[in-house]
Amino acid sequence: MWNCTQTKCEFFLCCAVSVVLMSLSCSTIIVFAQNHVPSSFGHISPDTKFDFKREVSSQTENPNSTQIFQPEGIIVDSNDNLYVNDIQSNEIKKYDMNGNFILKWGNQTIKGIPINHPHSSEIDKQGNIYITDQNNKRVIKFSPNGTFITSWGENDNSGANFVHPHGIAVDSQNNVFVSDRDLDTIQKFSPNGTLVASWGSGGPGNDQFEMPWDVAVDSGDNVFVPDYGNNRIQVFSNNGTFLRDWGTEGKGPGEFNHPAVIAFDKAANLYVTDSDNQRIQIFSKNGTYITGFGQMGEGPGEFSKPESITIDSNGRVYVADTTNNNVQLFIPSN
């Protein structure tokens, strides 16, 4: 058996021979190298660079309905398809991993009310899509192809109390978490939309918020909240017990100027859109700063109030740069 943990010269020789012998492990390393993705995905270090690759179907001088006009929520599914909430057209638009348009839905009436400002989105284990229909104060659930399944919120019996539903997340049991920006609360619902728990109030203390912009759930079902106005990240148990927090106002590494949205990669690294610092910051799960990228501007790799973020299975990072009206794709490399 060939040993693929040798010197650099032996490594290339080993991989070359292993390709002939159809060795899965070494051919996989070659594929990663060809795509300029770190050979051990998730090993994000202070030396990792995030290279701008392309924009995703941005508006042109001759716009059409497959393009993105004003993106807010973005999410990827298990096949690395990208879903974009376009708040100008009130639609959800789906693209494959190469940026090709697949389908769209929205701009429609649900329970007699047209969708109005689909802000955030989430996907459960079955591939169903959840959105916060912000101006209608409700959550809507769709199948992967956009078929309406259910909704809950204002004027129903779910127990929901929404004023400004903003972020949304789903845990491993398909419980749904919604951050309400104006109520300063996190609300937890069962898979069928019944209120299970609620926590939070306005203020700077533990278990208090000043505009909880988003909510995210890690692989252990812990709940992470970017506390936008308090410039920190708070972490809770699945039922709302405060665990820890980190962050303070500023421009330095690990400091924030309005943290907006959180996403996790496969290695549980945590990516935050630091919206008014015009950058992305990356932390370990326990809050240790690792690296970051981005700056103010309108060009490739530049942002103007980046809103949402999502990471696909290959570690490619999508950022919804709402004010610049585009979604940018970045490839990590060491």
CA-to-CA dists, residue 200 to 158, 178, 231, angstroms: 19, 12, 16
Does the pLDDT at position 13 exceed 80? no
Give 260: exposed, middle or buried? Use CB within 10 Å, 0-12, 13-18, 19+: buried
Half-sphere exposure of 308 (CA within 13 A, CB side): 30
Structure tokens belonging to residue 283: 């932390």
Structure confidence at residue 204 as a pLDDT band (50, 70, 90): very high
Please give the average per-residue pLDDT across 55-75, as a whole number: 82
Does the pLDDT at position 237 exceed 90? yes
Q: What pLDDT, on the 0 to 100 scale, is given for residue 123?
A: 97
Structure tokens belonging to residue 331: 């490839």
Report how far residue 229's alpha carbon sits from residue 211's, in angstroms, rounded to the nearest whole number: 6
CA-to-CA dists, residue 248 to 117, 181, 226, 326, angstroms: 30, 19, 12, 29
Structure confidence at residue 30 as a pLDDT band (50, 70, 90): very low
Structure confidence at residue 15 as a pLDDT band (50, 70, 90): very low
More confidently predicted of 144 and 66: 144
Report how far residue 208's alpha carbon sits from residue 232's, in angstroms, rounded to the nearest whole number: 11
Does the pLDDT at position 41 exceed 60? no
More confidently predicted of 155 and 183: 183
Please give the average per-residue pLDDT across 173-195, as a whole number: 96
Please give the average per-residue pLDDT across 75-88, as a whole number: 96
Report how far residue 221's alpha carbon sits from residue 219's, in angstroms, rounded to the nearest whole number: 5
Please give the average per-residue pLDDT across 87-92, as a whole number: 94
Structure confidence at residue 288 as a pLDDT band (50, 70, 90): very high
Q: What is the DSSP string of 1-25?
A: ----SS-HHHHHHHHHHHHHTT-HH
Q: What pLDDT, on the 0 to 100 scale, is given for residue 1?
A: 39
Give 11: exposed, middle or buried? Use CB within 10 Å, 0-12, 13-18, 19+: middle
Q: What is the pLDDT of residues 159-171, one digit of tens each?
A: 888 999 999 999 9
Structure tokens belonging to residue 324: 């610049």
Please give the average per-residue pLDDT across 182-211, as a whole number: 96
Answer whether 167's CB lies under 8 Å from 72's CB. no
Q: If phi over 0 gives left and psi between -120 and 50 gives alpha, with beta otherwise, what is residue 86?
A: beta
Does the pLDDT at position 7 exceed 50? no
Structure confidence at residue 62 as a pLDDT band (50, 70, 90): low
Report how far residue 161's alpha carbon sits from residue 158's, in angstroms, rounded to the nearest whole number: 9
Structure confidence at residue 19 as a pLDDT band (50, 70, 90): very low
Q: What pLDDT, on the 0 to 100 scale, is given for residue 158?
A: 76
Answer whether 167's CB lies under 8 Å from 120's CB. yes
Residue 36 amino acid letter:
H
Report how far residue 188's alpha carbon sits from residue 211's, in angstroms, rounded to the nearest whole number: 17
Q: CA nearest 169: which of 160, 177, 179?
A: 177
Q: What is the pLDDT of residues 97-148, one digit of tens each?
A: 999 999 999 988 999 999 999 999 999 999 999 999 999 999 999 999 999 9
| pLDDT over 90 percentage in the chain | 78
